[in-house]
């Protein structure tokens, strides 16, 4: 019962952070174009994850992301963005969100390893 509660809390925190990230990025006056290179990287990451976890949804979405990224390969260099190009406030918020997501990822992994 406690394991389910901890997993639920971690998922809730991840969802809250994702909503905050979307709200912050939607208020930005500067609109960003789709980063197809990132879609490709997500795709090639999700394929082995889905195969290892025996979850077809992950590897199928990975194939879709990878295909979308490859279909727009000519736009990879045009949309090159980094944290250096963000305004200071957005950069700070982005770094906080990345740090928190990394913490929750590591906490989830440690939790899974400790329960096995």
Exposure class string for 45-81: b at 16+ Cβ within 10 A, else e: ebbeebeeeeeeebbebbeebbeebeebeeeeeeeee
Give the residue extent of every domain in the chain: 32-81, 82-116
Contact partners, residue 3, CB within 8 Å, separation at least 6:
111, 115
Residue 79: predicted pLDDT: 61
Digitized pLDDT (tens) for each residue of the chain, 116 residues in all: 677 888 888 888 888 888 888 777 776 666 667 788 888 988 898 888 888 888 888 889 889 999 999 998 888 776 666 777 778 888 898 899 889 989 988 888 888 888 87
Residue 6: predicted pLDDT: 81
- Reading phi first (left if > 0) and then psi (alpha if -120 to 50, else beta), residue 7 is in alpha
Closest alpha carbon to 63 in 49, 78, 80, 77: 49
Residue 71: predicted pLDDT: 92
Question: pTM value?
Answer: 0.49
């Amino acid at each position: 019962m406690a394991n389910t509660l901890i997993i639920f809390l971690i998922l809730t925190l991840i969802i809250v952070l994702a909503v905050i990230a979307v709200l912050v990025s939607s208020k930005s006056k500067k609109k960003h174009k789709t980063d197809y290179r990132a879609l490709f990287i997500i795709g090639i990451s999700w394929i082995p994850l889905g195969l290892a976890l025996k979850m077809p949804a992950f590897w199928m979405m990975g194939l879709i992301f990878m295909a979308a990224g490859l279909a727009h390969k000519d736009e990879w260099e045009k949309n090159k963005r980094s944290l250096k190009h963000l305004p200071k406030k957005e950069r700070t918020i982005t770094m906080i969100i990345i740090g928190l997501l990394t913490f929750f990822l590591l906490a989830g992994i440690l939790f899974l390893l400790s329960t096995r």
